[in-house]
Chains A and B, each alone.
Chain A
Amino acid sequence: MDEKLKADLSKQGIFTTSLQELYNWGRTSSIWPLNFGLACCAIEMIATTMARYDLARFGAEVFRPSPRQADLMIVAGTVTKKMAPQVVRLYNQMPEPKYVISMGACAISGGPFKQGYNVLKGIDRYIPVDVYIPGCPPRPEALIDAFMELQKKIDAQQLTGENRPRHLNADHPSEFVVPQFGEHDLEPARNPAIWKPPLVQIAQTGSDESGNC
């Protein structure tokens, strides 16, 4: 529909919209997060929902205690290998459409515990992440920013066509492999369908004066 005509009509008190706009507006304005925190980032998440920062202004006032009623999983904190299967299972139990915010250095990459034996090197190895927030922990403003970023992302989604979101595409899975506890590590250690290691030039980053790399 013509944008100018739409604006003119709205001045006359006639509101026009498309199904896509209505649908996206509805989803954007009521993203209910899962009531779920893993470590210190969760304290910042709680602070974000409290009166000072008031995440409720963005339609996320109800943290749902059940994954069946939640739209958004905020992975707030360190994901240990022992906790990873439960996180993935909670994500699988959420109904589509569902979104993930990876909050803080630990949830993105393992953070300060990346070289440890018991911390998952990023939750994006098992579930698809929509927005990453760096920080240790990120301030509430950063979480609000991530939230608004997610809202923009939802608002821009096309309901039809090639780029339609996952929940409208029957070919795309809505459940992901839950890792099992192995003898030395989680099995599988990553979900190759959704996580590919980024291209890095390790030889260059590591060369020292002696010429060895």
Chain B
Amino acid sequence: MNLEIVKTAIEANVPGCRLELVANPSPSGQHSLLLDSQHALAVALYLRDAADLRFDFCSNVTGIDWPPRELTEKVKVKKLVDGPNGPEEKDIDEVRTTTIPGYLEVVYHLYSVEKKHGPIVLRMRTQDRDAGIHLLSLTSIWRGAELQEREIYDLFGVVFDGHPDLRRLLMWDDFVDHPMRRDYIDPDDYEYEPTPHDEVLQRAQQHLRQSDPVRQSEAEGR
């Protein structure tokens, strides 16, 4: 299934939608389409109902957390520098850091049972990770997305507008965190670790130092 063809077909049939092809450089080459969230419903409806596409089965919905990243790049800049013959222009390397703001991403995998083709991968991104976490729910197009969108709401904190029953799925209702976000800090219950290593070891030592400094200092002194 050539994604370029699908992309042109969608652009021809859904006026105003902005699509972006996200290439996958790995050998699997599973490229994906990035949708803008305003037209997501129209695009999804087209993918499901177009006679030659008929993506009637949403097999998987998942989320990705992209925390803010810093990109450093070297740029050549012309600057006036004091030389022996007065000021002159020179190319100077300058390191620029740009911060890419974080966002949450939702990924849909679609197949067509009728046409026996697929998968096609759709992505949607939220504006940021704090307030602009709203996306349109695709549950009205593919009913099977209901539980998975609830799971993403629970674990990543993406709010799906138009979802029929948006509640937490795995954690309890009063839980405030989103455990699959990369900045999630899990509760400090590392009292006992039979074979600690790496990060778990650090957490266990830190916990023991705080809760039982005498015993831990004895153990470390030995």
Contact B193 A181 (CB under 8 A): no
0/1 interface trace, chain B 195-211, chain A, CB 8 Å (1 if under): 11100110011001000
Q: What residue of chain A has the Cβ atom nearest to residue B199's Cβ?
A: A115
CB proximity to A under 8 Å, residues B145-181? 170-177, 179
State how many angstroms separate the Cβ of A77 from the closest Cβ of chain B.
16
The complex places the Cα of A198 from the Cα of B195 at a distance, in Å, of: 13
Which residue of A182, A184, A189, A202 contacts B201 across the interface (Cβ within 8 Å)? A202
Question: Which chain B positions have C-beta within 8 A of A121?
Answer: 189, 192
Contact B205 A181 (CB under 8 A): no
Contact A202 B189 (CB under 8 A): no
Q: Looking at the complex, which of A59-67, A153-161, A164-172, A203-211 is the stretch in contact with chain B?
A: A203-211
B84 within 8 A of A: no
Contact A181 B175 (CB under 8 A): yes
Question: Which chain A positions have C-beta within 8 A of B205?
Answer: 202-203, 206, 213
Known contacts A203-B222, A206-B201; is-contact A117 B189 (Cβ 8 Å): no
Which residue of B176, B186, B200 contacts A117 across the interface (Cβ within 8 Å)? B186
B194 within 8 A of A: yes
State how many angstroms separate the Cβ of A203 from the closest Cβ of chain B.
4
The complex places the Cα of A205 from the Cα of B177 at a distance, in Å, of: 32
State how many angstroms separate the Cβ of B209 from the closest Cβ of chain A.
10
The complex places the Cα of A182 from the Cα of B219 at a distance, in Å, of: 33
Question: Which chain B positions have C-beta within 8 A of A81?
Answer: 172
The complex places the Cα of A182 from the Cα of B175 at a distance, in Å, of: 7
Question: Which chain B positions have C-beta within 8 A of A82?
Answer: 170-172
State how many angstroms separate the Cβ of B220 from the closest Cβ of chain A.
4
CB proximity to B under 8 Å, residues A161-213? 181-185, 189-190, 197-206, 213
Contact B200 A115 (CB under 8 A): yes
B187 within 8 A of A: yes
State how many angstroms separate the Cβ of A200 from the closest Cβ of chain B.
6
Contact B171 A118 (CB under 8 A): yes
Question: Which chain A positions have C-beta within 8 A of B174?
Answer: 181-183
Task: Report the interface size for chain A: residues with CB under 8 A from the other chain.
Answer: 25
Contact A184 B220 (CB under 8 A): no
Contact A201 B172 (CB under 8 A): no
State how many angstroms separate the Cβ of B1 from the closest Cβ of chain A.
36
Q: What residue of chain B has the Cβ atom nearest to residue A205's Cβ?
A: B196
B191 within 8 A of A: yes
The complex places the Cα of A205 from the Cα of B219 at a distance, in Å, of: 10
Contact A204 B170 (CB under 8 A): no
Contact B219 A201 (CB under 8 A): yes
B216 within 8 A of A: yes
Known contacts A202-B208, A206-B197, A206-B201; is-contact A181 B187 (Cβ 8 Å): no
Contact A200 B193 (CB under 8 A): yes
Known contacts A82-B172, A183-B176; is-contact A204 B200 (Cβ 8 Å): no
A48 within 8 A of B: no
Question: Which chain A positions have C-beta within 8 A of B184?
Answer: 117
State how many angstroms separate the Cβ of B18 from the closest Cβ of chain A.
36
Contact B197 A189 (CB under 8 A): no
A78 within 8 A of B: no
Contact A185 B189 (CB under 8 A): yes
State how many angstroms separate the Cβ of B77 from the closest Cβ of chain A.
41
Question: Which chain B positions have C-beta within 8 A of A24?
Answer: none
Question: Which chain B positions have C-beta within 8 A of A200?
Answer: 192-194, 219
Which residue of A109, A117, A185, A203 contacts B220 across the interface (Cβ within 8 Å)? A203
State how many angstroms separate the Cβ of A134 from the closest Cβ of chain B.
12
CB proximity to B under 8 Å, residues A77-113? 81-82, 109
Hey, which bits of chain A sit against chain B, CB under 8 A?
Answer: 81-82, 109, 115, 117-118, 121, 181-185, 189-190, 197-206, 213
Sampled A-B contacts (11; CB under 8 Å): A117-B187, A118-B170, A118-B171, A181-B175, A183-B177, A185-B189, A199-B215, A202-B196, A206-B196, A206-B197, A206-B201
